Amino acid sequence: MFESLGVINVWTYLVGLFFIIIAPGPNSLYVLRTGATRGISAGYKAALGVFVGDAILIFCAYLGIASLIRTTPLLFTLVRYLGAIYLLYLGIKILHANFIAKKGEQEAESPLGENYFGKALTLSLTNPKAILFYVSFFVQFIDFNYAHTWISYLVLAGMLEAMSFVYLTLLIFGGTLMASFFRRKQVLARLGNGLIGFFFMGFAARLATLSP
């Protein structure tokens, strides 16, 4: 069926996709934290940012922009450092709000004005690992003898977004369940938030040393 749409080895693609999606990363961690600290609605706003970011990167891969970034060291380095700086900023902000800010400051930084969609979208678009993924992984499952490869990209993208939606939904609802537990255990909640902040800083360090 999928071969007629220019998609080959679809089961291999789905297995690979499963392991790539469940691997811990800044996007999924941000959605989990948003669901846990701000609720289901905010969690889905963050997830929407991830979906839109993925769609934009897939479209860029189709246009060849992702290949240009991969093969242009200066451009790749620029995207890499922008992503690292943004991750470092998020990590420091989480740690500051959790361990340093006084109660009044924490309330001022709180929920209502936060742009969950925008933050998740920025995380997606400044992640060169995702760009490399769409260049190197997608092309293995496209038959370039097929006349309309945009349809092949669309099919693969649909599978990715569907699987990502299921996984992020589990994270959002899992996060809200965790939140109800941690509300009764404030020390654990602070430690958990602090750990997430350190994870973001760790992702920043890894991204800063990434090679194309």
Can you give the pLDDT at residue 169? Answer: 94
Closest alpha carbon to 163 in 77, 51, 60, 7: 51
User: What token pair was written down for 41?
Assistant: 């609605």
Can you give the pLDDT at residue 191? Answer: 67
pLDDT digits (tens, 9 = 90+) for 50-82: 999 988 888 887 787 656 666 677 777 777 777
Residue ranges in the chain whose pLDDT is less than 70: 65-71, 83, 94, 96-113, 128-129, 132, 135-136, 179-194, 196, 200, 203, 207, 210-212
Task: Render the burial of 75-98: b for 16+ CB within 10 Å, e for the rest.
Answer: ebeebbebbbebbbebbeebbebb
Can you give the pLDDT at residue 109? Answer: 47
User: What token pair was written down for 181?
Assistant: 């537990």
Which residue is listed with tokens 């299921």?
Answer: 166
